[in-house]
Amino acid sequence: MTRYPALTSQRITSHAKVAPLRKTVPGPAFDWAYFRQQLARRLMDKSVG
């Protein structure tokens, strides 16, 4: 995300939200909370080290 500073975790979404009639990935079972938690953790690790 350092390469693309305008890309924030709030701007990451699924194909299903961008093109709901054409795409269904990642699907309703995708754990967005876990994904965002891991993303935040990784960002924190990079900012500290």
The pLDDT score that the predictor gives to residue 34 is: 94
Q: How far is CA 36 from CA 21, 22, 31, in A?
A: 25, 24, 9
The pLDDT score that the predictor gives to residue 13 is: 87
DSSP string, 22-49: T--TT-TT--HHHHHHHHHHHHHHHHH-
The pLDDT score that the predictor gives to residue 1 is: 60
Taking a C-beta distance cutoff of 8 angstroms, is the pair 2, 46 a contact? yes
The pLDDT score that the predictor gives to residue 28 is: 83
* Residue position matching structure tokens 């009639």: 21
1-49 tens-digit pLDDT: 678 888 787 888 888 888 888 888 888 889 999 998 988 888 777 666 5
Q: How many CB atoms lie within 10 A of CB 39?
A: 14
